[in-house]
Amino acid sequence: MTDTSLITNGQPVLAATAAAASGPEHVEVPTAYDAILLAGFGGPEGQDDVIPFLRNVTRGRGIPDERLEEVAHHYRHFGGVSPINAQNRALKAALEAELASRGIDMPVLWGNRNWEPYLEEAFTEAADKGYNKLVAIATSAYSSFSSCRQYREDYARVLTETGLIDTIQIDKIRQFFDHPGFVRPFIDGVRDGMARAIAENDGLDVATELQVLFSTHSIPSSDAARSGPDFRGFDEHGAYEAQHLAVGQVVLDQAWSELLEQPEHAHLQGTSKPAWKLVYQSRSGPPTQPWLEPDINDYMNEELKGGPTRAVLIVPLGFVSDHMEVMWDLDEEATETAGELGYWSLRTQTPGIDPAYVSGLVDLVLERVNGTPKAERPHMTDIGPWYDVCRPGCCENVRAGFKPAAAGVAP
Ligand SMILES: CC1=C(CCC(=O)O)c2cc3nc(cc4[nH]c(cc5[nH]c(cc1n2)c(C)c5CCC(=O)O)c(CCC(=O)O)c4C)C(CCC(=O)O)=C3C
Ligand SMILES: [Fe+2]
* Local confidence pLDDT in tens for the 411 residues of the chain: 233 333 344 333 333 333 334 678 899 999 999 999 999 999 999 999 999 999 999 988 888 888 899 889 999 999 999 999 999 999 999 999 999 999 999 999 999 999 999 999 999 999 999 999 999 999 999 999 999 999 999 999 999 999 999 999 999 999 999 999 999 999 999 999 999 999 999 999 999 999 999 999 999 999 999 999 877 789 999 999 999 999 999 999 999 999 999 999 999 999 999 999 999 999 988 889 999 999 999 999 999 999 999 999 999 999 999 999 999 999 999 999 999 999 999 999 999 999 999 999 999 999 999 999 999 999 999 999 999 999 888 898 887 788 889 988 876
Ligand 1 centroid to 328 CA: how many Å? 13
Nearest CA to ligand 1 atom 7: 140
Ligand 1 centroid to 284 CA: how many Å? 9
Ligand 1 centroid to 271 CA: how many Å? 39
Ordered structural domains, the chain, with CATH = 15-177+354-376 (3.40.50.1400), 180-347 (3.40.50.1400)
What is the position in ligand 1's atom list of the atom closest to the CA of 114? 42
Mutate-to-test residue for ligand 1 from 146, 150, 283, highest number of ligand atoms within 8 A of CB: 146
Question: Residue 200's closest CA among 411, 81, 209?
Answer: 209
Ligand 1 centroid to 13 CA: how many Å? 31
Distance between the two ends of the chain, CA-based, in angstroms?
20
User: Which ligand lies nearest the alpha carbon of 39?
Assistant: 1
What is the position in ligand 1's atom list of the atom closest to the CA of 223? 26
What are the residue ranges of helices labelled H in 232-331?
238-260, 296-298, 324
Instruction: Check if 50 has its Cβ closer than 6 Å to any atom of ligand 1.
Output: no
Ligand 1 centroid to 100 CA: how many Å? 33
Nearest CA to ligand 1 atom 39: 57
Ligand 2 centroid to 328 CA: how many Å? 13
Question: Residue 42's closest CA among 110, 127, 137?
Answer: 110
What is the position in ligand 1's atom list of the atom closest to the CA of 400? 32
Mutate-to-test residue for ligand 1 from 75, 176, 325, highest number of ligand atoms within 8 A of CB: 325
Please list, residue by residue across 263-291, b when 16 or more beta carbons sit within 10 angstroms of its beta carbon and e when fewer do.
eebeebeeeebbbbbbbbbbbeeeeeeeb
Nearest CA to ligand 1 atom 2: 146
Instruction: Check if 219 has its Cβ closer than 6 Å to any atom of ligand 1.
Output: yes
User: Which ligand lies nearest the alpha carbon of 227?
Assistant: 1
Annotated binding site for Fe-coproporphyrin III: 82, 151
User: Which ligand lies nearest the alpha carbon of 280?
Assistant: 1
Q: What is the DSSP string of 136-204?
A: EEES--S-SIIIIIHHHHHHHHHHHHTT-TTT-EEEEPPP-TT-HHHHHHHHHHHHHHHHHHHHHSTT-
Ligand 1 centroid to 205 CA: how many Å? 37
* 2 φ, ψ (degrees, to nearest 5): -90, 145
Q: Looking at residue 80, what DSSP letter applies?
A: T
Instruction: Check if 51 has its Cβ closer than 6 Å to any atom of ligand 1.
Output: no
Count the alpha carbons within 13 Å of 375 in the hemisphere toward its beta carbon.
0
Nearest CA to ligand 1 atom 6: 140
Ligand 2 centroid to 217 CA: how many Å? 7
